[in-house]
Structure 1
């Protein structure tokens, strides 16, 4: 029998299973009633790991959730085609395929050979966790013009080798490698 978690014990960044799907708790709020006999309620902001949907739901404190059968393995990105993206499990050396809807916008940060954490639910791949930062080369950006800071805009748009566009400081040049924060999609420094 799977272990059970009480709703009141669910905390931020904790995984739990609800309606046969794995969820990640993003935030929680406990409301205790002031009247006698009132029930303690737990409001969870949660992400469905299969659909990536985020929503709020309120539960009674005593409701129970199963601990999901989640496994995270190291995998390296190989390539993408019209059928999906392919990763190589670093332990078993098996090739794992993920469809575009399971990757979301993560594809914009993937280069061949990048190591990611691949999540599996009940043995099936459901998504990836990117590293905090990735190194990407600037494919195109306007040259920085000296004195172009009067408007307060000290950044410019840059297209990176994977096709995504981010704002970079005006001193960044075409062909330069930069670090990009994968969570915020922001410039994190020179590589």
Structure 2
């Protein structure tokens, strides 16, 4: 689908120079002399390289069309995560580098949304919140103000996060999967 350069937003996927690019930053510039343009920083999905490009406002770019499907997480091996489509029971495997650090938050039967581009998976979106158990945490220091002090904690899946001082080992907490931050205690 063609869009104007002025409609480019952060997070969009663009087809450009025979590759798929994710928009990291965009800035619309209107200089005193000459036409307006969009300064766009992009990252290649396939090659993991970055590109800075200027698009004139009158130019059009191709927005990638993605198919999004719900899957349930099954298990992992050394290189892949395995997912199952709940309606057809079709199983797919996705390389661990596509999922990234958030793969540690996957739990059995967790429903995720997988984006496909030309039949190949390019991203896995977890629910915004997941429940985790605290494995270990540091002791809170007396005299610290409660409102601004957080202490490090390790979750049962190995991720390290910051939690408020009242959180102890074996507590159940809710984590935001987008930024890996503590939300609340259960």
1:44 aligns with 2:40: yes
What is the RMSD computed on CA atoms of the aligned residues? Answer: 2.6
1:11 aligns with 2:6: no
Q: How many angstroms does 1:108 deviate by?
A: 2.1
User: How do residues 58-137 of structure 1 correspond to structure 2 at under 5 angstroms?
Assistant: 58-137=54-133
Question: Do the aligned residues in 1 keep the contact of 2:70 with 2:111 (CA within 8 Å)?
Answer: yes
1:30 matched to which residue of 2?
A: 28
User: How many positions carry a matched residue from both structures?
Assistant: 186
Question: Do the aligned residues in 1 keep the contact of 2:75 with 2:82 (CA within 8 Å)?
Answer: yes
Question: Do the aligned residues in 2 keep the contact of 1:144 with 1:172 (CA within 8 Å)?
Answer: no
What's the TM-score once normalised by structure 2's chain length? 0.84
Separation (CA, whole Å) in 2 of partners of 1:151 and 1:46: 40
Q: How many angstroms does 1:20 deviate by?
A: 3.1
Question: Do the aligned residues in 1 keep the contact of 2:161 with 2:180 (CA within 8 Å)?
Answer: yes
What's the TM-score once normalised by structure 1's chain length? 0.82
Separation (CA, whole Å) in 1 of partners of 2:172 and 2:83: 24
Q: How many angstroms does 1:183 deviate by?
A: 2.1
Q: 1:57 to 1:99 in 2, by over 3 A?
A: same
Separation (CA, whole Å) in 2 of partners of 1:58 and 1:91: 44
1:169 aligns with 2:164: yes
1:149 matched to which residue of 2?
A: 144
Q: How many angstroms does 1:170 deviate by?
A: 1.9
Separation (CA, whole Å) in 1 of partners of 2:38 and 2:180: 32
Q: Which moved more, 1:53-62 or 1:162-171?
A: 53-62
2:183 matched to which residue of 1?
A: 188
Question: Do the aligned residues in 1 keep the contact of 2:20 with 2:44 (CA within 8 Å)?
Answer: yes
Q: Structure 1: which 5+ runs fail to align?
A: none
Separation (CA, whole Å) in 1 of partners of 2:146 and 2:109: 40
Separation (CA, whole Å) in 2 of partners of 1:138 and 1:181: 15
